[in-house]
Amino acid sequence: MIDILGKFFEFDLSWDLIQRMRNNPFSTPNHTTFRVLFRRYISAHLVNEAISVYEDRLKEFGLKDETSYCILVDALCEYKHVIEAHELCFGNNNNSINVRNITKIYNMILRGWFKMGWWGKCREFWEEMDRKEVCKDLHSYSIYMDILCKSGKPWKAVKLYKEMKSKGIKLDVVAYNTVINAIGLSEGVDFVLRVYREMRELGCQPNVVTCNTVIKLLCENGRIKEAYRMLDEMPQSYIAPDVFTYHCFFRCLEKPKEILCLFDQMIENGVCPRMDTYVMLMRKFGRWGFLRPVFLVWKKMEKLGCSPDEFAYNALIDALIQKGMVDMARKYDEEMMAKGLSAKLRVELNTTEEG
């Protein structure tokens, strides 16, 4: 209820409800209550109000503690108020409590700079952690490796991975996923397979993201048979392929029949296509000049109860125009406009601005 009230900026009513909760022994406000309230204040950019709640109001609930402090900092970073979070934690007039796990605070701020995409600030903050001798943990390394990959420096992420190994830091599946992506970008698929085998040998169970990353790299390097082998092995490891697993194949396969067979297999295995799945396939078949597969995908989309959006209509219309079927293309163009969808302007259908 507090979440709903906060969503509509009814913060006075939120406080009325919190006071009523306080008087009810079965619903006393707790950290979860104020996590919701902090997130709603900060998502509405009412940062000073959120900080004021922590500084001035939480003591009366017995909740002005390390947990609430971390919840506040995390919410500030989540909604990209990282400058305010940094000032709260490290500013000159900082009234914060003494946090035992300082690494956790640094990780949240580092992740905040990551969400902002401020790569230079990320590097400065990482170096600041070294200068202040902050003990970096697995999460610190995982966040910074992801930063290095996203900022176009995957080889530095690989160097960091080697540093982790030399320090005896045991990687979890999230860290391995980042490493595998970085190695794929910088050193190629053979090195990726080595790390994947190392991961399994060390008892770290891969997840669907791991498999998708490896399959994507195999497909992009033309090693389709190995990618299929991994797809077949996933259920044996209790990993269910998802729609992105199949997208890796659809992007790289070049035979319509093979794509359609895999598409049917995907649906039979209980993986529901997304709208961008249908659009991807229709555009691909359309570019190749194969109209029948375009309609097979379209009919499957209708059969599964998925209402086509403007991108699906435009993919179908483009394929029809390419094959010279202008009258049928016009029919679908009119149909999509009747549904209030935005149609492309096309000379072939006399729908240009001048027309």
pLDDT in tens, 142-191: 999 999 999 999 999 999 999 999 999 999 999 999 999 999 999 999 99
Angle at 124 between CA 120 and CA 125, to 5 degrees: 115
The two three-digit tokens of residue 342, written as one number:
């935005």
Q: Do 200 and 212 reside in the same domain of the chain?
A: no
Report the distance separating Cα 220 and Cα 209, nearest Å: 16
The two three-digit tokens of residue 148, written as one number:
């290095």
Q: Is the pLDDT of residue 309 over 50?
A: yes
| Full domain range(s) for residue 73 | 1-100
Determine, yes or no, domain membership for 261: no
Q: Do 50 and 85 reside in the same domain of the chain?
A: yes
Biggest CA–CA distance in the chain, Å, is 74
Q: How confident is the model at residue 314 (pLDDT cuts 50, 70, 90)?
A: very high
Report the distance separating Cα 52 and Cα 37, nearest Å: 12
pLDDT digits (tens, 9 = 90+) for 20-74: 898 888 889 999 999 999 999 999 999 999 999 999 999 999 999 999 999 999 9
Determine, yes or no, domain membership for 262: no
pLDDT for 125 equals 96
Q: Do 245 and 282 reside in the same domain of the chain?
A: no
> Among positive and negative, which fits the CA dihedral 173, 119, 80, 38?
positive
What percent of the chain stands above pLDDT 90? 85
Distances (CA, A) of 46 to 34, 50, 64, 84: 14, 6, 19, 11
pLDDT digits (tens, 9 = 90+) for 231-267: 999 999 999 999 999 999 999 999 999 999 999 999 9
Determine, yes or no, domain membership for 301: yes
Q: Do 140 and 171 reside in the same domain of the chain?
A: yes
CB 189 within 8 A of CB 221: yes
Determine, yes or no, domain membership for 126: yes
- Amino acid at residue number 159: K
Among candidate residues 72, 100, 128, the one where a domain is terminated: 100
The two three-digit tokens of residue 296, written as one number:
């097979």
pLDDT for 25 equals 81
Q: How confident is the model at residue 355 (pLDDT cuts 50, 70, 90)?
A: very low
Number of domains in the chain: 4
Q: Do 306 and 355 reside in the same domain of the chain?
A: yes
Report the distance separating Cα 155 and Cα 188, nearest Å: 11
Determine, yes or no, domain membership for 112: no
pLDDT for 201 equals 95
Q: Do 278 and 338 reside in the same domain of the chain?
A: yes
pLDDT for 136 equals 94
Q: Do 328 and 355 reside in the same domain of the chain?
A: yes
The two three-digit tokens of residue 233, written as one number:
């092995």
pLDDT digits (tens, 9 = 90+) for 101-133: 789 999 999 999 999 999 999 999 999 999 999
Q: How confident is the model at residue 207 (pLDDT cuts 50, 70, 90)?
A: very high
pLDDT digits (tens, 9 = 90+) for 315-338: 999 999 999 999 999 999 999 999
Determine, yes or no, domain membership for 77: yes
pLDDT for 344 equals 84
Q: Return the beta strands (E) in the chain as ranges.
A: none
The half-sphere exposure of 35 on its side-chain side, counting CA atoms within 13 A, is: 9
Q: Do 172 and 243 reside in the same domain of the chain?
A: no
Determine, yes or no, domain membership for 15: yes
Q: Is the pLDDT of residue 95 over 70?
A: no
pLDDT for 122 equals 97
Angle at 61 between CA 63 and CA 38, to 5 degrees: 60
Among candidate residues 181, 205, 229, the one where a domain is terminated: 205
Report the distance separating Cα 295 and Cα 325, nearest Å: 13
Nearest to 228 by CA among 243, 246, 210: 246
Among candidate residues 189, 205, 221, the one where a domain is terminated: 205
Nearest to 134 by CA among 164, 105, 103: 103
Q: What is the mean pLDDT of the chain?
A: 93
Determine, yes or no, domain membership for 257: no
Report the distance separating Cα 146 and Cα 317, nearest Å: 40
The two three-digit tokens of residue 349, written as one number:
């259908």
Question: Which residue's entry shows tokens 């000073």?
Answer: 48
Q: Do 76 and 152 reside in the same domain of the chain?
A: no
pLDDT for 349 equals 84
Q: Is 350 exposed, middle or buried (0-12, 13-18, 19+ CB in 10 A)?
A: exposed
Q: Is the pLDDT of residue 97 over 80?
A: no
Name the pTM for this structure. 0.85
Nearest to 114 by CA among 88, 87, 140: 140
CB 115 within 8 A of CB 80: yes
Q: Do 288 and 333 reside in the same domain of the chain?
A: yes
Q: Do 201 and 212 reside in the same domain of the chain?
A: no
Q: Do 7 and 86 reside in the same domain of the chain?
A: yes
